[in-house]
Chain A
Amino acid sequence: MKNRPNKNTLPGFNLSLGYAILYLSLIVIIPLSATFLKAFTLNWADFWQAVASPRVVASYKLTFGASFIGALINVVFGLLTAWVLTRYHFFGKKFVDAFVDFPFALPTAVAGIALSAIYSTHGWIGSRLEPLGIHVAYTPLGVVVALTFIGLPFVVRTVQPVLEDLSAEVEEAAASLGANRWQVFYKIILPAIWPALITGFALAFARAIGEYGSVIFIAGNMPMVSEITPLIIITKLEQYDYAGATAVAAVMLVISFILLFAINGFQWWSNRRLGNNR
C-alpha cells in the first residue's frame, strides 16, 4: 500500500455497492424480515402453542440430536479422510479427493432416495444389517445417516488445508526429542487443527439442522419419532397453518443466525490467534 490519501481512483463503487445492496434487500433481507414481522403478529399464547407443542419439541430433539451425532461422525471420519488425503499416497487418491465434494453436488432428493434404497431392509446394506437387529431406514438412525452424508465434505475441506500447511519440522523436532507418533499427533498436530475441526463441525451441524430433501425419504416421518423440524413447517403449510409454520420457522431462523454469527466470530478469533503466533 502506497501512502495515498483516502481517495480511491477505481470507478464503479456507488454502482456496484448500490446494486449489491438493492439485490440483497429484494431477494434476502425483505423476505426474511417479512417472516419475522409475520411471527410478531401472533399473540404469545398462539406462538408458544405452535413452537412448544409436544410434537414440535420431539422434532427439535430429533433434528438437533441427529445433526449433532452426524456432525460428530464427520469430525472423526472427516479428520481421518483429510489426514489420509494429505499424508499418504495410494492408487486413485485424486479421484477420492474430488469425490469428497459429491454431497455438495448431488441433489438432496437423489441422495435421499439412494440412501433409503440401500439402507432399507431389502437394500444392499440394510439387508446385511437386518439380521443384526439394526434398522436404519425409517428410523431416527436413518436421519443420522442422511445428515452424515450431507455434512461429509465440511470437516474434510476445513481440516485439509491446515494439515497441508503444517510444517514437517515441528513434528521432526518432537520425534527427535523422543515423542512417539501418538504423542506427536496429540500434542503437536491436534492443537494446530482443532479450530478447523470445530469450524467444520459447526458448518456440518448448521447445514444439517436445516436439511430437508435427503432426510424425508429415509426418515419414515413418524410424528414424535422420526419427524424433523423442517417437515413440521411443511406440514403446517399444507394445512394452511401459515402462522404456525412461520412461528416454527422463526425459531429455527434465530438458531441458524446465532450459529452463523458464532461460526464467523470463531473463525475471526482463530485467524487472529494464528496471526499472532506467526
Chain B
Amino acid sequence: MISSNLSAICYLISGILFILALRGLSSPDTSRQGNYFGMSGMLIAIIVTFLSIGSLSTSLIYVLVLLLLGGTIGAFIAFKIPMTAMPELVAGFHSLVGLAAVFVAIAAFLNPEVFNLGISGKIKLASLIEMSIGAAVGAITFSGSIIAFLKLRGIMSGAPITFLGQHYINLLLGLGIFILIFYLCKTQSANIFWLVIAISFLIGVLLIIPIGGADMPVVISMLNSYSGWAAAGIGFTLENTALIITGALVGSSGAILSYIMCKAMNRSFFSVILGGFGADGSSANSNAQTDKKPVKSGNAEDAAFLMKNASSVIIVPGYGMAVAQAQHALREMVDKLKKNDIKISYAIHPVAGRMPGHMNVLLAEANVPYDEVFELEDINNDFANADVAFVIGANDVTNPIAKTDPKSPIFGMPVLDVEKCKSVLFVKRSLSPGYAGVDNELFYRDNTLMLFADAKKMTEDIVKNLD
C-alpha cells in the first residue's frame, strides 16, 4: 500500500502525460510518440490504483480477468474496423465512457465508504452533487451516443425526428434534473438518484433525434465534449486529479471541435442543437431542377486528356469518394500523373468526411503522403493558378452559390474556390443536390466538365486512359 500523497502525485503525472499525448498531435511526426505518452499515463494510473488499495482480496483475479476481457474486445475492434466506419466507432466508444461514468457513480452512491464519501444515507453534500452531475452527464452521453451510432450506421434514418414542443420538453426535463438533484441532497433517497439517471437517459435520446445526418460531425464532437465533462464530474467525486485533468482536456477538446465544425458549415451551435436541418431541402431542389440549364458532360478519355496536358491538378475529395471506395483507384491515377511531372495536391474541406479530419485519415490509408494534403485556407488561393480541379464525391463544399446568393441555405459557408481553376472535372452519378439540398451552380459553369459515373469506376477508367 502506498501513501495517498504518493498516489496523488502519480495521478498528477499521468494527467501530465495525457496533456503530452494531445500535444504530440500538433504534427504527424510527433503524434506516435504522443500516443505512447498517453498509454504510459493510463498504465501508471491503473497500477497506482491497484497499489493504493493495498489489501487485495480474491476479487483482484476477477478484476484482472475482466480487464483482459475488455481489452481483448477493444483490441479486436481496433484492428478490424474499416476507416470509413471511424465515426460510428468513436460514437460507440463515447457511449461506453458515458455508461462507465454512470456505473462508477452508482457504485459510489451505493457504497460511499470505499470512496471516503461518508456513509450510505449520509453522503457528503458536495460529493452527492458531484456524483449526480457525473451520472447525469454520463447518462446523456450514453444514450445520445447510441442514437448517433444508430444514425451513422444507417440502422436509424438520418432524417431529423421533430415534434411539437420538443424543445420545451427538453427544457422541462433539464430543469427537472436540477430540482431532483436538489431533493436528492435533502433526502439522500436512492429512488431520486435512479430517477435522475433515468431522465438523463431520456434527455440524451431526445437531444440527438432531431439532428439530421449532415450535422453528425458536430454531434460526435459534442458528445466527445460531454464524455469529458462526465469524467470530470466523477473525478471530483473520487477526488482524483488524473480524472479531473483528463475530463477538462477532453471536454474542451470536444467543444473546440464542435466549434470548428459549426464554423465550417456556417451554422450556429444552437441551430444544430435545435435540429431539423435537411428536412425542408426537398422543396428547394425540385424547382431548381425544372429549369434545365446546359451541362457539359464528358467521359474518361476527355478527363484523361485534360489532366495529361495540365501542369498542376488539385483533387477535391468528399465523403462520396469513400463510400464508393475510390481512394485506392484515385491514388493510382495520381501516381500516373506524377510520372508525367504534373503537380498534385489535395484540398480538404473541414466537413469533407463525416467527422473532423475523417478525410485525412481515409487519404492516409490510401498511402497519400500527408504533405500533399492541404486544408481549405491553405490551398484556396491556389485554385486560380491550377489547370484542373478534380472533384470526386464532394458537392456542397464546392458550391460557389455560398459566396453569392444570400438566400441560399448554405450562404456564408466557407467553400473551396474550385470554379477559379481553368477546368473543373466533376465526378458524380447525377445532377442531384447534396446533403444541404441545394443545387450546385458549379455544374452549369462553362469550365466544368461533368463525368457522370460511379466514382470508383470513373477513376479506374481514367487510369486506363492515361496509359
- Mutual binders A and B: no
